[in-house]
Amino acid sequence: MKKELIVVDPKIMMGKPVIKGTRIPVELILEKLAMGESEAQILAEHPRLTRAAIHTALAFAAKTLRADVVYPVSGVGD
């Protein structure tokens, strides 16, 4: 995972993790993939993204979920 592709800055998108050099939050990429959009569709909609950035966003999310505490969210996957 290229950690330098993900940045957290309180001045950008209220401190949400974003792809470096953009205002594209990691969560947006995850939501689009979860809704069934392909990498190609996401890249077409957001030309500043790269496949590496999408894969880094996924790796970032996986690493984040490995934390010691997981908070259940109702309604997910319904």
The residues spanned by each domain of the chain are 3-65
Give residue 3's pLDDT: 58
Give residue 74's pLDDT: 66
Cβ atoms within 10 Å of 46's Cβ, excluding its own: 17
Confidence band for 67, pLDDT divided at 50, 70 and 90? confident
> What DSSP state is assigned to residue 6?
E
Give residue 66's pLDDT: 84
Q: Is the dihedral of CA 49, 22, 68, 78 positive or negative?
A: negative
Provide CB contacts within 8 A for 57, sequence distance 6+.
Answer: 6, 19, 26, 29, 30
Cβ-contact 10, 48 below 8 angstroms: no
What's the topology of domain 3-65?
A: Arc Repressor Mutant, subunit A (1.10.10)
Per-residue pLDDT of 17-43, as tens digits, reads: 999 999 999 999 999 999 999 999 999
Residue with tokens 């590496």: 52
Higher pLDDT, 1 or 38: 38
pTM: 0.80
